[in-house]
Amino acid sequence: MTQMCLRIMVGDPCNDDLSTQSCIAMSTVLHGSCPPQAFCNSVLKLASFLMQALGQVAFSLEYLCSGEGIGATAERLEAVLCHILIPLFLRAAASKKDTPQFQLKDLIFCLNLMQNAVNPPLAKQSLAPVTNVSGRQSSVSVTERGHSATVSTYRIVRETVCQAIFLALKVMMIAFEKQMVMLWPRVAKIIRELLGKKVGGPALYSFVDFVVDVNLPISLIILPVLQTK
C-alpha cells in the first residue's frame, strides 16, 4: 500500500508491464498534476515512520528511491528529488517527533545519486551507440583484429536535472549543516562537474548567490571553484 501511494505521489503509471511502463515514464520529466498536498504529506509521513520503524534493512532511503520502491520514476532524478528527497529534507529540518532521521550514509546516498546523474559510473553506461532521453551518448571503436576497444562516452545533463540538483543542495546545506561538514568535498565535486559540463543557467547563478549569502564553511571551498569558471 505504501509503495502504491508513493508511486501515485511521484506520478508513476503503476503499470506492471515494464515496456509500457518505461515508455510512459520517459514521456515527461515530472507529471503534470500532483495529488492533493494533504495526500502527499500523509504519504511522506508514513514513509518516514516506516524508515524509522523498519530500519535500513527493510525500508531504507535507498529502497524508497529505487525502482522497486517508486517504479520507473526512479530513473528520473527530478521526480526523486522534487517529490521525495527535498520534501523529506524539509521535514527533517522541522525537528518534530515524526520527522525522518537522516544518518550520514543517507546523506552520502543522496549525494551519490546526484553525482551519478551528472557523471554516471562506467558500469552503468551503455557500450552500444545510443542516445536516450537523459542525453547519454556512447560510441565504440574496435581495432581490425578485435584485440582492443576504445569507448568514448559523452553525457548531456538535462537543465531540469541541474535545477533539481542545485535546489536539493541548497536544502541539504541548510537542513543538515552539522552533518554535512564531512561531506563538503563531495558537494564541491558535484559543483565542479556541473560547471565542467557548462550547464545550469539561471539555477547556477541562483546557487552562487545562495553560497555567497549563506556564509557556511562550504563557501570557502565552492567560491574559488566558481570564480575560476
Residue 157: which pLDDT band, with cuts at 50, 70 and 90? Answer: confident
Whether 228 shows a pLDDT value over 50: the answer reads yes
In a domain, residue 59? The reply is yes
In a domain, residue 196? The reply is yes
For the residues 146-155, what does the mean pLDDT come to?
50
| Higher-pLDDT residue of 6, 85 | 85
Average model confidence (pLDDT) across the chain: 75
In a domain, residue 146? The reply is no
Total domains in the chain come to: 1
Percent of the chain with pLDDT over 90: 14
In a domain, residue 216? The reply is yes
For residue 2, the enclosing domain spans 1-13+34-120+158-228
For the residues 118-130, what does the mean pLDDT come to?
56
In a domain, residue 53? The reply is yes
In a domain, residue 132? The reply is no
For the residues 105-114, what does the mean pLDDT come to?
93
In a domain, residue 126? The reply is no
CA angle 56–59–62, rounded 5-degree value: 75
Calculated CA dihedral for residues 180, 210, 115, 20, nearest 10 degrees: 120
Cβ neighbours of residue 144 closer than 8 Å, sequence gap 6 or more: none
pLDDT for position 26: 44
The Cα–Cα gap between 59 and 106 comes to: 12
In a domain, residue 148? The reply is no
Name the strands in the sheet holding 149-155, side by side, starting at the edge strand that comes first in the sequence.
Answer: 130-131, 136-142, 149-155
